[in-house]
Every structure is written in C-alpha cells, then in structure tokens.
Structure 1
Amino acid sequence: MKLVIKDLTKTYKNGVKAIDHLNLEIGTGMFGLLGPNGAGKSSLMRTIATLQKPDSGTITFGDINVLEDNMALRKILGYLPQSFGVYPKMSAEALLDYFATLKGIHSKTERQALIKEVLEITNLYEMRKKYVAGYSGGMKQRFGIAQLLLNNPKLIIVDEPTAGLDPAERHRFLNVLREVGTNCTVIFSTHIVEDVKELCNDMAILNGGRILKQATPTQARLELKNRIWTKTIDRDDLEAHEAQFNVLSSNYNEDNSLNIRVFNAVQPSAEFIAVEPQLDDVYFIALKTDEPVAAL
C-alpha cells in the first residue's frame, strides 16, 4: 500500500505555516523523514495520523481517503508520538491487556497470545511484570512500539523516537523498528541523520513545511560523487574559508585543527582532497539552499 500526499497545507492560528503545499509518496518499508527541529515534521505526522485537519490537500493510503474516513485509517494505524503518555502504576503486561481491550480484542486467550508476541518482538518479555513507569527511556519507547503493534498496523508513524536515548538504547530500539518495518509502511521522523542512514530504504528532507529532497540514501550520496572535498585548516581560518567556499561542516582534530567539508562541482583548489559523500552532506546542502533540490 502506498501513502500519497498531495498539495497539503496547514497554517496555525498564530500564523505559522507548518505544512506548505507538500507533496509526497511513500511505499512499503522504512521511510525516513529528516529535518531540523521546527521543520514541520510533527505537524505532518499528526495530520497523517488524523489528529489534526489540514487547511487543504489530500491524503490517501491505498484505497482509504484519510481525511474523509479517519476511522478506516485508525484501524490500521500504529502511532508513536514524540512524548508517549503518562504511565499508571501498571505492569507492561497489564497495560498492554488494557490497550488490547480498547482496540476491540475481547478474547482473553487472543489478547494473551498477542501480548506475548509483541513483548517478545520488542525484547520486553522478561520485564513484563515490571511497572512501565519504572522503565528506562529506551524501554518505554520499545513499549510504545509494542502497544502500536496490537492491531497489526499497515501504517506505522514514529516521531523522533530516539531523541534522548543513550547509544545502547538507541541501537536496541532501531533493531526493533527494523524488524517490524519489513512488511508495512513505516514513517520514521527524526533530526538525526545517522538514524536514517542505518534504517531507511527511502527518505525525504523537510524544512519550513516543504520537501526539499526525496531519494534513497544511497542515491542521494551517489549524486554528490566527486563534488565533496575536504581540507585541514587552522580553526582561526574557518570564517575566511566559509566566505570563500561552500563549507558544509567541520570537525576538530586532536591538534585543534579543523577538517572542513566543501561542496563544489570541481576541485576548489589544490589543497582540497576528494572524499566519499556522506548522508550528512546531502542534508546540509538541502538545508543551505532551502529550496527543492533536483538531482545534482
């Protein structure tokens, strides 16, 4: 099933245009929606999840007209918002049983089998008797995935799920998401480029409520082949190089010098060395131009 968004707009009462004539098509698999904080990612996720209405535009998922038939989508939707709820003093097992009942699974035997399955998928089965309120941040996020799997969703939306997780928790969470995202459409909203590089088979870069670029991570990097250059400079020379070259990023060396990465169609000068493009380069180029990017 394909999610198709056409000419979607949303302006809030304070005048902020969160979604600006946005067009996007998303197929089966892991789709990364990449953008800085305030880019409009959460607004788009809430709109797709039928939690708010747009001013104009259309959204379809397969044969479902999302904006006209909210309930049809909700039956096959799994949604994990950026902040997932306040947990009562209940075990994971008991809380999932409650959620499953709300989702219309009335057979106790069926609920027990389903709860065991989703706890095993999310690696929480051994912790099923513990209060969810006492879980670590990563465990709570995995619990969020467990609850959204209860209705066997065809469309899964996760909004900034790895923000605030330590590296080990982030790794475990991404592994769980990778496993559940093989047979459905998963939209993974994040500002962390590394998450998209590790997880997604397709991606788009969003800023100002507009899609700046859509491509596979591999394709996006290949488009920059022989156009990314690096040079080591003194940190005091950074400002001068930024004025002269299209500097995308810089990082410190042990001796406090800087490696800069520059985007240019040809070698900027003899001191520059060609390097393999990274997804970060794609991201920074899109944000620096801040307009839709065609194939380079």
Structure 2
Amino acid sequence: MQLVIKNLTKTYKNGVKALDDINIEIGAGMFGLLGPNGAGKSTLMRTIATLQSPDSGSITFGDIDVLNDKMALRKLLGYLPQSFGVYPKLSAEALLDYFATLKGISSKTEREAIVKEVLEITNLYDVRKKHVAGYSGGMKQRFGIAQLLLNNPKLIIVDEPTAGLDPAERHRFLNVLREVGTNCTVIFSTHIVDDVKELCKEMAILNGGRILQHSTPAQATQELEGKIWTKIIERDELEANEAMYNILSSNYNQDNTLNIRVYSDEQPSSDFKRANAQLDDVYFIALKGDIENPVV
C-alpha cells in the first residue's frame, strides 16, 4: 500500500511553518526521514498518525483518506512516538495484554498468543514478568515496538527511536525494527545518518518543513562519487579554508589536526585527496544548500 502525501502544510500559532507544501509517496519497506532537530519531522509523523490536523493538503494510505477517516487508518497503524510513557508497576506481559484489549482483541486466548509472539519478536520474552519501568532505554524502545505490533499494522511510524540509546542497545533495536519492517510500510524518523544508512532502502531529507531530497541512500551517495575531497589542516587554518572551500565537515585527529571534507566538482587544490562519498556528505550538502538558499 502506498502512502501518498500532497501539498501538506502546517503553521503553528507562533508563526512557525512546520510543514511547507510537503509532497511525497512512500511504499512498502523501510523509509528514512532524515533531518535535524526542529526540521518538522515530528509534526509530519503526528499528522500522518492522525494526532494533529494540517492546515491544508491530503494524505491517503491505499484507499483510505487519512484526514477524513482517521479511525480506518488507526486500525492499520502502529506508532512509537519520540516520548513513550509506561505504567510504573505493571509487567511487560500484563501491560501488553492491557494494550491488546484496548485494540479490540477480546479473546483471552488470542491475546495470550499475540503477546507471546510480540515479546519473542522483540527479544523481551525472558523479561516479560519484569516491570517495564525498570527496563533499560533500549528495552523500553523494544517494548514500544512490541505494543505497536499487537494489531498487525500495515503502516508503522517510529519517531527518533534511537536517540539516547547506547551503541549495543541501538544495534539490538535496529535489528528488531529491520525484522518487523519486511512486510509493511515503516517510516523511520531520525537525525542520525547512520540509522538511515544501516536500515532504510529509501530516504528523504527534511528541513524547515520542506523535502530537500528524496532518493535511495545508495543512489544519493553514488551521485557524489568523485566530488568529495579531503585534506588535513591545522586547527587555526580552519577559518581560512572555510572561506576558500565548500567544507562539509571536519573531524579531529589524534594529533589535534583536522581532517576536512570538501564538496567540489574538481580537485580544489593539489593537496586534496579524493575520498569515497558517504551518506553524511549527502546530508550536509542538502542542509548547506537549504541554509544558503532559503525559501522566503
């Protein structure tokens, strides 16, 4: 099923235009929505999830008119918001049983079966009797995936799910999400480029409420091959180099020098070496172009 968004706009009462004429189509599989904090990602996620209304535009999922038939979409939706609260004194098993009841699964036998299944998918079955409030950050996020799977969703939305997770927890969470995202549409909102690179077959970069780029990670990176250059400079040379070159990023070396990455169609100077393009470069180029050429 295709999620089709047309001319979606949203301006808050304080004058902030969170969504600025969004047009995009998202098919089955893992879709990464990449952008900095404040780009409009959460507003777009909440709007798709029917938690807030846009000023104008339309959203369809298959034959469902999302904005005019919210309940039809909610029956097919699994949603993990950026902040996910839990009841403090309930076990994972009990809380999932409660959520399953709220989602209309009235048969106790059916609830037991689906709760067991989602606990196993998210690798939480061995700690099912433990209070969710005592889970680690990564375990809570995996519990969030478990609860959204209870109604066998066709559309899954996860908003900044790996923020704050340590590397091991992040790896486990991404593995779970990769497994559940094979048979439905998953929109994965994040500001972490590596999440999209590891997980998503298609992506869009969002900033200022606008889609800056829409392609696959592989295609976006391939388009930059031969145009990324690098050299090592001293720290006090950064400002001068910024004035001369289109610097995308800079990283410290162990000797306190800087390794700069520059975008250029041709070798900027003889002391630059060609580097393999990375998805980070795609992201920084999109944001840099947006800052230098804002829509007014």
Shared fold, TM over 0.5: yes
Q: Report which stretch shifted further, 31-40 or 79-88.
A: 79-88
Alignment of 1:179-218 (within 5 A): 179-218=179-218
> Is the 8 Å Cα contact of residues 86 and 132 (structure 2) preserved in structure 1?
no
Q: Distance in 1 between matches of 2:91 and 2:292?
A: 47
Q: Distance in 2 between matches of 1:216 and 1:23?
A: 17
The one-letter code sitting in structure 2 at the alignment partner of 1:174 is L
The one-letter code sitting in structure 2 at the alignment partner of 1:227 is K
Deviation at 1:291, TM superposition (A): 7.5
Q: Distance in 1 between matches of 2:45 and 2:204?
A: 14
Deviation at 1:86, TM superposition (A): 3.5
Identity of aligned residues (%): 80
Q: What is the DSSP-based 3-state SS (H/G/I as helix, E as strand, rest coil) of the residue aligned with 2:149?
A: helix
**What TM-score comes out, normalization by structure 1 length?**
0.98
CA deviations 1:11-68 (Å, max 9, x no partner) are 0111111000011111100000000000000000000000000000000011111001
The one-letter code sitting in structure 1 at the alignment partner of 2:158 is V
List runs of 5+ in structure 2 lacking aligned partners: none
Structure 1 runs (4+) greater than 6 angstroms displaced: none
List runs of 5+ in structure 1 lacking aligned partners: none
Q: Distance in 1 between matches of 2:107 and 2:255?
A: 65
> Is the 8 Å Cα contact of residues 211 and 292 (structure 1) preserved in structure 2?
no
Q: Distance in 1 between matches of 2:5 and 2:53?
A: 13
Deviation at 1:225, TM superposition (A): 0.8
Q: Distance in 2 between matches of 1:276 and 1:176?
A: 30
> Is the 8 Å Cα contact of residues 45 and 159 (structure 2) preserved in structure 1?
yes
| Alignment coverage as a number of residue pairs | 293
Q: What is the DSSP-based 3-state SS (H/G/I as helix, E as strand, rest coil) of the residue aligned with 2:38?
A: coil
Query: 1:148 — aligned with what?
Result: 148
Query: 2:172 — aligned with what?
Result: 172
Q: What is the DSSP-based 3-state SS (H/G/I as helix, E as strand, rest coil) of the residue aligned with 2:15?
A: coil
CA deviations 1:213-248 (Å, max 9, x no partner) are 011000000000100000111111001000100000
Q: What is the DSSP-based 3-state SS (H/G/I as helix, E as strand, rest coil) of the residue aligned with 2:150?
A: helix
Alignment of 1:104-143 (within 5 A): 104-143=104-143
Q: Distance in 2 between matches of 1:276 and 1:93?
A: 47
CA deviations 1:137-185 (Å, max 9, x no partner) are 0000000000000000000000000000000000000000000000100
Alignment of 1:158-169 (within 5 A): 158-169=158-169
Q: What is the DSSP-based 3-state SS (H/G/I as helix, E as strand, rest coil) of the residue aligned with 1:5?
A: strand
Deviation at 1:254, TM superposition (A): 1.1
Query: 2:8 — aligned with what?
Result: 8
Q: Distance in 2 between matches of 1:194 and 1:188?
A: 12
Q: What is the DSSP-based 3-state SS (H/G/I as helix, E as strand, rest coil) of the residue aligned with 1:232?
A: strand
Q: What is the DSSP-based 3-state SS (H/G/I as helix, E as strand, rest coil) of the residue aligned with 2:248?
A: strand
Q: Distance in 1 between matches of 2:291 and 2:258?
A: 29
Q: Distance in 1 between matches of 2:92 and 2:86?
A: 13
Deviation at 1:87, TM superposition (A): 2.1
Q: Distance in 2 between matches of 1:136 and 1:292?
A: 41
Query: 1:279 — aligned with what?
Result: 279
Q: Distance in 2 between matches of 1:13 and 1:85?
A: 27
Q: What is the DSSP-based 3-state SS (H/G/I as helix, E as strand, rest coil) of the residue aligned with 1:120?
A: helix
Q: Distance in 1 between matches of 2:57 and 2:290?
A: 22
> Is the 8 Å Cα contact of residues 221 and 278 (structure 2) preserved in structure 1?
yes
Q: Distance in 1 between matches of 2:74 and 2:271?
A: 56
Q: Distance in 1 between matches of 2:176 and 2:104?
A: 25
Q: Distance in 1 between matches of 2:18 and 2:162?
A: 22
> Is the 8 Å Cα contact of residues 213 and 292 (structure 1) preserved in structure 2?
no
Q: Distance in 2 between matches of 1:4 and 1:76?
A: 15
Alignment of 1:1-296 (within 5 A): 1-290=1-290
**What TM-score comes out, normalization by structure 2 length?**
0.98
Q: What is the DSSP-based 3-state SS (H/G/I as helix, E as strand, rest coil) of the residue aligned with 2:10?
A: strand
Q: CA RMSD in A?
A: 1.1
